[in-house]
A and B are shown apart, each in its own frame.
Chain A
Amino acid sequence: MSLMRLLAFAVVLAAALPSSPASAQTTLRVVMHSDLKIVDPIWTTAYIVRNHGYMVYDTLFAMDAKGEIRPQMVDKYDVSADKLTYTMTLRDGLVWHDGKPVTAEDCVASVKRWAAKDSLGQKMFSFVKEIQVVNPKSFKIVLKEQTGLVLQALGKPSSNVPFMMPKRVADTDPSTQISDFTGSGPFVFKKDEWKAGDKAVYVKFAQYKPRPEPPSGLAGGKVAKVDRIEWRAIPDHQTATNALLAGEIDMIESPPHDLQPVLKKDANIKLLNLNPLGNQYVFRFNTLHKPFDNPKVRQAAWYAFNQEDFLKAVVGDPASYKVCKAMFVCGTPLESTKGMEGLLESNFEKSRALLKEAGYDGTPIVLLQSTDLAVLTNLAPVAKDLLEKGGFKVDMQSMDWQTLVARRAKKDPPAQGGWHAFLTSWVAADILNPVMAGFFNAGCDKAMFGWPCDKEIESLRDQYARETNPAKLKAIAEAVQVRVTHYPTHIHVGQWYQAAAVRKSVDGNIEAPVTVFWNVEKKGR
């Protein structure tokens, strides 16, 4: 017997030895974009925890495939004639994972905890006079003045999502992580099997009562079709790819673009764009320090940049990106190119002229480059190149993403450990309107890192929050977009799409802004 045969025999023999007991249940094994370390979706805005939230918890409202907000746990809701009172009634048969019924009291406590943490929730609550339990199945939100934010906020698709929790859990201080993971969603979190760095396990919740409608985006019937879902922590992309090729896992949520050609070639694997709205790359200014404290200098960057260069450098495949001048994302109700004429076309002469006009003294722009996330790494070198062609001097400083995250929070001058600019990516679902999208906040110290300070933008955002007419909402959003071209808070440098890699034995994946697992079925175990 040759050595190789001997080895193969030994391996087969070893594999045949008794292992864990066989089970007839269907198990879906998935590698998500990150390992699950924290499990309180209200405590953190991390996307992996949001995705965990969609497994375990349910929402009052949800966004459908058309971007419209639909009732989810709510059976019906009434808005009073003066639009100041929203009365919501829960569906029949909703129960928590411990078998107790979901009550209005639970929902009121959950909404309050969420609103204490989430920025859109806080904005919505600035209009709220009171929130009252009417009966075990109904509650009402009474407003001080009209706002179009109530349903938008309660049906918010991305972090922080207003997930419903039992009152005993929702009463936890919002700054303290929950330790009871009882939800009412289609899957139950197996706390005893959760090993951060290894796997998180969810099992089908047999008592979950889905809506009768077919699933649409994050709305509609959430029917769990597999018995068990394991989120496997495989941080190495190459290993995850190999595991998918070998059939050890069923799906990779975010395979990097450079490995997708390998996956495409395999007959057993399909690449699916599950998030049609995709993501948006963004160049963020720090408006506190020279020269970016001068809006005209920041405007020069609008002229120096073009989206195609960024997208080609990072994504590569034109099928996976879109040149899109609409700040509120192409393919959404607020899509518009108003104010974008002549911008993002790499007009270097115009950029240099603006810098001259602004009196730019050649201060180097401290540009932070994240080097450990493949989807971001190549953005900064492109920005550096285009800015230099546009007349800027650039000092690009490379670091890992976590260092960048810490540094961008610093208000110190760039020469003393601060910064001028960095690039990041937003999930489109987070930037669908000027109130929701954090980088449009121009509230000075209250704004996100970069701290833009502009009364006009803030006034427009406030108008948006109060408006309920869709046509007027769009007009306000366009006005915000135009204002941002004159008082730049950030520049969007391209829309891109992340395909998921799925084995062909898996079917029913839903197109939504968040990867969800109801309706997903698998042939075999």
Chain B
Amino acid sequence: MLYQYVARRLIATIPVMAVVATFVFLLLRLTTGDPAAIIAGDNATAQQVEEIRAKLGLDRPIAQQFAIWLGNIARGDLGESFFFKKRVTELILDRLEPTAALASFTLVLAVLVAVPLGVTAAYKRGTWVDRLVMGMSVLGFSVPAFVIGYTLIYVFAIQFAWLPVQGYQRLGEGFGGFIVRLILPSLTLATIYVALIARITRGSVLEVLSADYVRTARAKGLADIGVLLRHVLRNAAVPIVTVIGLGIALLIGGVVVTESVFSIPGLGRLTVDAVLARDYPTVQAVVLLFSMAYVLINLIVDLTYTLLDPRIRY
């Protein structure tokens, strides 16, 4: 039954991805800007620009360009970047590690910080702890990621010189440098995520705390910590997992900004560079990849429900 559900969901992603592909393709073509003119440079003549346009196939009708692109996608070929002269697949694979590392580190950090904060705020409802956590949540929600990033850089990299300002070191080049360079970007990116998860956790835990079975557990003499971990948190987990999943969209948006601020050569930076340069094949591929990731994460979240709540069946 579960397998059938997964298969149905996976098949359903095909039309979703087709809509995304069409939308991205048309959006890019309707956006002003000419990759050939950008590649040719400021001093190029009209003839030079035309030559490059022909070389890139941009002189063909849009319908033809779309058909070629779709055909290539169907064969698993994402095309070649206009600028980098590399296969887009190669580019993406090259940039995957920094983004995956940043996103994973952020996710772990955010969950480890936000869930205890949210549970504590709910448990200490109405006290200064609750107000502090919720106040910080509102702040984390409201302050843009780049402001947090620059502030962290100023304090920890410029004033105290504890951490590097920017850059990324691949895991294969040494764990020390890898982790040190991830701290500030992850803290920046985690802030909004912590705020979001902490608020939802608090709300969800509060709802469960007033349930009869919690009162019963307490009446049986179970310690508060045991009640929270065994009865409250598990039953409050579905909304929390949902928001973590939905928050992946936030994470993707945040990665774009954070990678720019901290000069991390990941997929976010690649997206910004490709959009600014009107590198159509790269933008199309990255957007498709992010969309695919988002769809799959939502599927994983849905499947997680069955583990957290045995009453849920597919």
Contact = CB atoms under 8 A, between A and B. Distances in A.
A45 B41 contact: yes
11 contacts: A8-B160, A15-B176, A20-B173, A38-B85, A45-B43, A46-B41, A238-B261, A239-B263, A242-B157, A248-B165, A406-B37
B41 A47 contact: yes
A246 B165 contact: yes
Contacts of A399: 32
Contacts of B278: 402
Interface in B267-285: 269-270, 272-273, 276-278
A19 B174 contact: yes
A483 interface: no
Contacts of B169: 19-20
Contacts of A257: none
Interface stretch (B48-56, B130-138, B204-212, B298-306): B48-56
Contact of B42 (A8, A15, A45): A45
Interface string B182-195: 01000000000000
B20 interface: no
Contact of A14 (B34, B180, B262): B180
A495 to B, nearest CB: 18
A18 interface: yes
A505 interface: no
A219 interface: no
Interface string A167-190: 000000001110100000000000
Contact of B83 (A7, A38, A195, A232): A38
B39 A20 contact: no
B176 A16 contact: yes
Contact of A37 (B153, B183, B261, B277): B277
Nearest to B44: A45
A179 B164 CA distance: 35
Interface in B61-88: 83-85
Residue from B45, B265, B272 whose CB has the most chain A CB atoms within 10 Å: B45
Contact of B173 (A8, A19, A196): A19
Interface residues of A, number: 58
Contacts of A234: 166, 263
A14 B179 contact: yes
B277 A402 contact: yes
A430 B43 contact: yes
Contacts of A248: 164-167
A262 to B, nearest CB: 11
Given A402-B38, A402-B276, A19 B166 contact: no
Contact of A197 (B49, B167, B179, B269): B269
Interface in B180-237: 180, 183
A35 B39 contact: no
B294 interface: no
B33 A44 contact: no
A458 to B, nearest CB: 16
A240 B99 CA distance: 20
A11 B33 contact: no
A145 interface: no
Given A45-B40, A238-B150, A403 B94 contact: no
B37 A49 contact: no
Given A15-B176, A159-B43, A195 B265 contact: yes
B177 A19 contact: yes
Interface in A5-40: 7-8, 11-12, 14-20, 35, 37-38
Contacts of A407: 32
A233 B176 contact: no
The 7 closest A-B pairs by CB, nearest first: A17-B176, A45-B41, A19-B174, A406-B34, A198-B265, A46-B41, A45-B43
Q: How large is the interface on B (under 10, 10 to 19, 20 to 34, 35 or more residues)?
A: 35 or more
Contacts of B44: 44-45
Given A239-B263, A242-B157, A402-B278, A159 B41 contact: yes
A504 B41 CA distance: 33
A7 B179 CA distance: 13
A20 B169 CA distance: 9
Contact of A175 (B51, B162, B176, B262): B51
A44 B162 contact: no
Nearest to A234: B263
Nearest to A11: B162
B265 A233 contact: yes
A184 to B, nearest CB: 23
A410 to B, nearest CB: 9
A519 B183 CA distance: 38
A11 B180 contact: yes
A400 interface: yes
A44 B41 contact: yes
Nearest to B154: A242
Given A38-B83, A44-B39, A195-B94, A239 B166 contact: yes
Interface string B87-115: 00000001100000000000000000000
A409 to B, nearest CB: 6
B161 interface: yes
A455 to B, nearest CB: 20
B83 A196 contact: yes
A51 B43 CA distance: 15
Interface string A367-405: 000000000000000000000000000000001101101
A133 interface: no
A407 B38 CA distance: 12
A28 B177 CA distance: 20
B314 interface: no
Residue from B41, B163, B174 whose CB has the most chain A CB atoms within 10 Å: B41
Contacts of B260: 235-236
Nearest to A402: B33
B12 interface: no
A403 B42 contact: no
Interface in B141-175: 150, 153-154, 157-158, 160-169, 173-175
A136 B31 CA distance: 52
Given A37-B83, A235-B260, A402-B278, A18 B40 contact: no
A424 B43 CA distance: 11
Nearest to B85: A177
A355 B156 CA distance: 59
B35 to A, nearest CB: 9
A482 interface: no
Given A17-B176, A242-B153, A448 B33 contact: no
